Amino acid sequence: MESRSNGRRPAPRAALALCAAAAVLAAGCAGLGRVTVEKRPVSPVRQNFVGESRLPETLRRVVLLPVWGGEAAPSESALALDPGFATALVRQKRFEVVTISREECQRRFGNDSLSSASALPAGFLDELRRDFAADGVMFVDLTAYHPIRPIALGVRAKLALTAGARIIWSFDDVYSAEDPAVLQGIRRYYGAAGGDRGEGPANLPEAALISPSRFGAYAADATFQTLPPRWR
């Protein structure tokens, strides 16, 4: 593509202006073949989840179990992620959230955490419904855990009704610091509000890439954002 101006060459500043305009508006011009436009990371939209179109009207109170580390993470690492998942679930404001400590979980059910993929203790759901007035229970399992750079966290979560044991939402995905979408999500989460701790935002995105608990707080928030809405 050529630019003509009645036989006169444009002044240097005018030429620069023309080139700048062409770079924005005319991607097919031959003279712009060497111009590269930096791509922005895509939004962190998680896709590995299924759920009902909306939450049942009867789902008012949910017990959040401690994070299950299994073979992916030691118990102390899973314990450090408990607060982040609890905060993220409360923030969704889908229902009242009741947490159960690891000590109480151990006392009641013989283990300090329970996996959504394992057999549940006898009378488990009945006990939650009777003693906690719970309409549902939220399981959170770790399927992958890499606490050093590049940090990664695999999350499997399920929301089940205590009456009938029906699963109404299930999530299974891996968050990796090597994923541009995850990096963009961390920047948004630890933005002006300072994430979940009310801290100054200056160094939080970078800190989240070396801190499993900070990285986990973002992952928990992104996970629970996929929960069904209460209304259509």
The owner of tokens 């995105």 is 205
Q: Residue 69 maps to which CATH number?
A: 3.40.50.10610
Per the structure, the complete domain to which residue 203 belongs is given by: 52-224
The owner of tokens 């629970």 is 224
pLDDT of residue 204: 73
Strands 49-51 and 167-176 turn out to be: antiparallel
Shared domain for 28 and 104, answered yes or no, is no
Residue 2 domain flag: no
pLDDT of residue 192: 53
* pLDDT by 10s per residue, the chain, length 232: 444 444 444 444 433 333 433 333 333 333 333 333 333 334 445 668 899 999 999 999 999 999 999 999 999 999 999 999 999 999 999 999 999 999 999 999 999 999 999 999 999 999 999 999 999 999 999 999 999 999 999 999 999 999 999 999 999 999 999 999 999 999 999 875 544 445 545 567 888 999 999 999 999 999 999 999 986 5
pLDDT of residue 225: 94
Shared domain for 98 and 32, answered yes or no, is no
pLDDT of residue 6: 44
Shared domain for 100 and 30, answered yes or no, is no
Residue 118 domain flag: yes
Residue 14 domain flag: yes
Distance CA 22, CA 47 (A): 37
Residue 4 domain flag: no
pLDDT of residue 49: 86
Strands 61-64 and 136-146 turn out to be: parallel
Shared domain for 159 and 202, answered yes or no, is yes
* Cα-based distances in Å from 44 to 157, 203, 222, 223: 18, 20, 8, 10
Dihedral sign for Cα atoms in the order 206, 207, 208, 210: positive
Structural domains of the chain, count: 2
Shared domain for 16 and 80, answered yes or no, is no
Shared domain for 30 and 143, answered yes or no, is no
- Other CB atoms within a 10 A radius of the CB of residue 166 amount to 12
pLDDT of residue 5: 41
Tell me how far the alpha carbon of residue 118 is from its chain's centroid: 24
Residue 46 domain flag: no
Q: Are 198 and 65 in contact (CB under 8 A)?
A: no
Shared domain for 24 and 58, answered yes or no, is no
Specify burial of residue 21 (Cβ count, 10 A radius: 0-12, 13-18, 19+).
exposed
Closest CA to 145 of 136, 157, 154: 154
Structure tokens at 75: 């118990």
Residue 194 domain flag: yes
Distance CA 53, CA 56 (A): 9
pLDDT of residue 69: 98
Shared domain for 15 and 126, answered yes or no, is no
How big is the CA angle at 53 (ends 47 and 59), to the nearest 5 degrees?
110
